[in-house]
């Protein structure tokens, strides 16, 4: 949606002109689940464990899926966005295809600045004074997102929105929105799981 709550916005490109093949959200959810759902207990970044986990690198390495994801995520990019910021590591391939889809420049955000090279936490396009939309693969607690937003703001960026493929935990949305940011997810983990398991009520959220 745009800042005024208007229609979804694809900045420069029409469906006919997209360089990517598209699929509907139902099919996309089924494909993501089939390809990337992990059976077995997994330790999360927060230290907690989960037996319902989606491996983002499985769907991010599939060009057909990534094209469809980029097309759908482009509807979340607000009018007036000047730079897309992908967060290390899973946000990097996403922001690359989303940059191709929207024709907006990208910046790649490190977890922390390194003591070599440029020493910057954000590599790529200039962000000082620019309106920036953050791109992430999966959001759980949202703490990494908020740290990266703080880093981007410290570098002069005006960060307004966060977009992701999967909202793993509602806590992440609450934390991000409490910080004054708009949050958009293609799927919640719950709806992705329902669709993947073939539940009758497994319909994606078409309102985002």
> Model confidence at 206, in pLDDT bands (50, 70, 90)?
very low
Looking at the domain assignment, is residue 205 inside a domain? no
The domain in which residue 117 lies consists of 25-196
pLDDT above 90 covers a percentage of the chain that reads 69
pLDDT value at residue 81: 98
Distances from the Cα of 66 to the Cα of 25, 53, 80, 109, angstroms = 13, 19, 24, 20
Higher pLDDT, 8 or 39: 39
Please count the other Cβ atoms lying within 10 Å of the Cβ belonging to residue 207.
5
Would the annotation count 141 as a binding residue? yes
Cα dihedral 137, 126, 159, 122, rounded to 10, equals 50
pLDDT value at residue 146: 98
Would the annotation count 131 as a binding residue? no
pLDDT value at residue 45: 63
Give the mean model confidence (pLDDT) for residues 39-62. Answer: 78
Looking at the domain assignment, is residue 77 inside a domain? yes
Looking at the domain assignment, is residue 46 inside a domain? yes
pLDDT value at residue 49: 67
Would the annotation count 137 as a binding residue? yes
Looking at the domain assignment, is residue 203 inside a domain? no
The pLDDT tens digits for 51-87 are 788 999 999 999 989 999 999 999 999 999 999 999 9
The pLDDT tens digits for 85-134 are 999 999 999 999 999 999 999 999 999 877 666 668 999 999 999 999 99
Would the annotation count 139 as a binding residue? yes
User: How many domains are contained in the chain?
Assistant: 1
pLDDT value at residue 44: 62
pLDDT value at residue 22: 64
Looking at the domain assignment, is residue 44 inside a domain? yes
pLDDT value at residue 132: 99
Would the annotation count 75 as a binding residue? no
Would the annotation count 13 as a binding residue? no
pLDDT value at residue 48: 66
Would the annotation count 27 as a binding residue? no
Looking at the domain assignment, is residue 117 inside a domain? yes
- CATH number of the domain that residue 176 is part of: 3.40.50.2020
How high is the mean pLDDT of the chain?
85
Looking at the domain assignment, is residue 171 inside a domain? yes
Would the annotation count 134 as a binding residue? no
Looking at the domain assignment, is residue 12 inside a domain? no
Would the annotation count 110 as a binding residue? yes
């Amino acid at each position: 949606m745009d800042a005024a709550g208007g229609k979804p916005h694809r900045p420069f490109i029409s469906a006919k002109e997209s360089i990517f093949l598209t699929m509907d959200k139902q099919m996309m959810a089924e494909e993501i689940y089939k390809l990337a759902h992990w059976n077995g207990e997994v330790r999360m970044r927060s230290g907690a464990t989960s037996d319902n986990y989606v491996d983002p690198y499985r769907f991010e390495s599939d060009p057909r899926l990534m094209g469809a994801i980029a097309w759908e995520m482009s509807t979340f990019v607000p009018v007036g966005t000047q730079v897309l910021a992908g967060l290390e590591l899973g946000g990097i391939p996403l922001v690359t295809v989303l940059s191709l889809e929207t024709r907006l420049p990208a910046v790649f955000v490190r977890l922390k600045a390194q003591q070599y090279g440029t020493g910057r936490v954000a590599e790529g396009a200039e962000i000082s004074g620019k309106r920036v939309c953050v791109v992430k693969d999966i959001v759980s607690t949202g703490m990494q997102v908020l740290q990266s937003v703080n880093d981007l703001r410290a570098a002069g960026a005006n960060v307004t929105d966060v977009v992701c493929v999967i909202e793993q935990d509602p806590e992440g949305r609450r934390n991000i929105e409490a910080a004054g940011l708009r949050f958009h997810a293609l799927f919640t983990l719950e709806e992705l799981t329902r669709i993947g398991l073939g539940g009758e009520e497994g319909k994606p959220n078409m309102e985002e």
